[in-house]
Amino acid sequence: MYELLNHMDIDLEDYDREVLNDMEKRSLKNNFRKSIKRKINFKKLGTIAAVAVLTLGFFSQTNFGKNVYAAAESKVSEISYSIGEALGTKRNIEPYANVVNQIVEHNGVEVKLTDVIIDKDELIFSTIANANTPVDWVNFDYDIFINGKKLTNYGATGSSRRIGNSETAFSHIYAVDTKGIDLEENIDVKIILHNLNYRIGESEKGIKGKWEFEFTANGSELMANSHTLPMNYSFTAGGQKYSLEEFRYNPVNQKIFGKVKGKSKDAYAIELRGHDNLGNEVTFFLTSVSGEDIVFKYENIHGDLSDEITSITLTPYAAKYPEQSGKMSNDYKQVGEEFTIFLMK
């Protein structure tokens, strides 16, 4: 209804102007004075208020009610937190972001889908969630549909951080592998978040709900600012051979793609550690293994890669994951020789 009114054009000049004579004006004033002197029926007013509450309750169970709630009462709408902040980068990546800013409320939990970035074979999206109660941590399960088709068997990474000093508001960033789907043209995307999990102290709980978002996005602008360099380097860890074949970088992501072959009875965390030609520390982490395909991604724990660098020198290190659940020992050992990537300038 609100959207219908927003799109209606009403020209008052299309209507005849009615002018009251002096007698009609006096009559109107007298009737108005009589009306404001009447005794207010508080019983009737209470009934009206009750009906209003019931109506609000009814609307809150509908899409229309959710949109009204989001527009009129939302707390997350007042929170400004960009996808760059969620990624922890100081670069201006806003030109590559598809701004969504949709808000959905369900079971007392508000979620705002803020921005989406498409990086060739990866869909990156950020959300703000307001749990409306103090919690230590929140997380969601999610399903993603592209052009009506649900993604299955995809790799994904994500992180969550508290927004400022808030005890209820959290930012999430998700990076989902979309290999095999052409994302350079306009695509229709649906993201459904569900099964909110949260932790208070040592206690973990969940809220069933559904937070659904639909939008159109495009990744052509970021692709225009991406560079790809061939690589030919390999090393061995845990009996498996890791071959690095391609380095792709742009303002949003810096990744090394390759293959892993062979079998190992143990699982290993692999890092590529080193420095750039300016002396800044650089680390790439193994973030994705899908069959033989592997991806190392630069994580800006040391800050963003400088735009002024011309080369990166790295050395592979590996640490075995614990056989039982527990904390990593961080006992990394060098598993290959040093190598250098020369960037295009």
State the pLDDT confidence band at 32, using cuts at 50, 70 and 90. very low
* pLDDT tens figures, 96-124: 999 999 999 988 899 999 999 999 889 99
Closest by CA to 112, choosing from 144, 57, 71, is 71
What is the average per-residue pLDDT within 36-55?
A: 38
pLDDT at 1: 43
Tokens encoding 136: 């230590």
pLDDT at 70: 41
Rounded CA gap, 211 and 20, in Å?
54
pLDDT higher at 1 or 136: 136
Judge whether 270 and 318 are in contact, CB under 8 Å. Answer: yes
What is the average per-residue pLDDT within 250-276?
A: 93
pLDDT higher at 280 or 201: 280
* pLDDT tens figures, 118-176: 998 899 999 999 988 888 888 899 999 999 999 887 778 888 888 888 888 999 999 99
DSSP string, 134-167: --SEEEEEEEEEETTEE--S--EEEEEEE-TT-S
Judge whether 161 and 171 are in contact, CB under 8 Å. Answer: yes
Closest by CA to 2, choosing from 57, 58, 71, is 71
pLDDT at 24: 53
> Angle between the 42-59 and 63-73 helix axes, to the nearest 10 degrees?
110
Judge whether 126 and 142 are in contact, CB under 8 Å. Answer: no
Tokens encoding 20: 């009251």
Rounded CA gap, 31 and 69, in Å?
38
- For residue 62, the 8-state DSSP code is S
Judge whether 178 and 149 are in contact, CB under 8 Å. Answer: no
pLDDT higher at 149 or 5: 149
Question: How much is the pTM?
Answer: 0.72
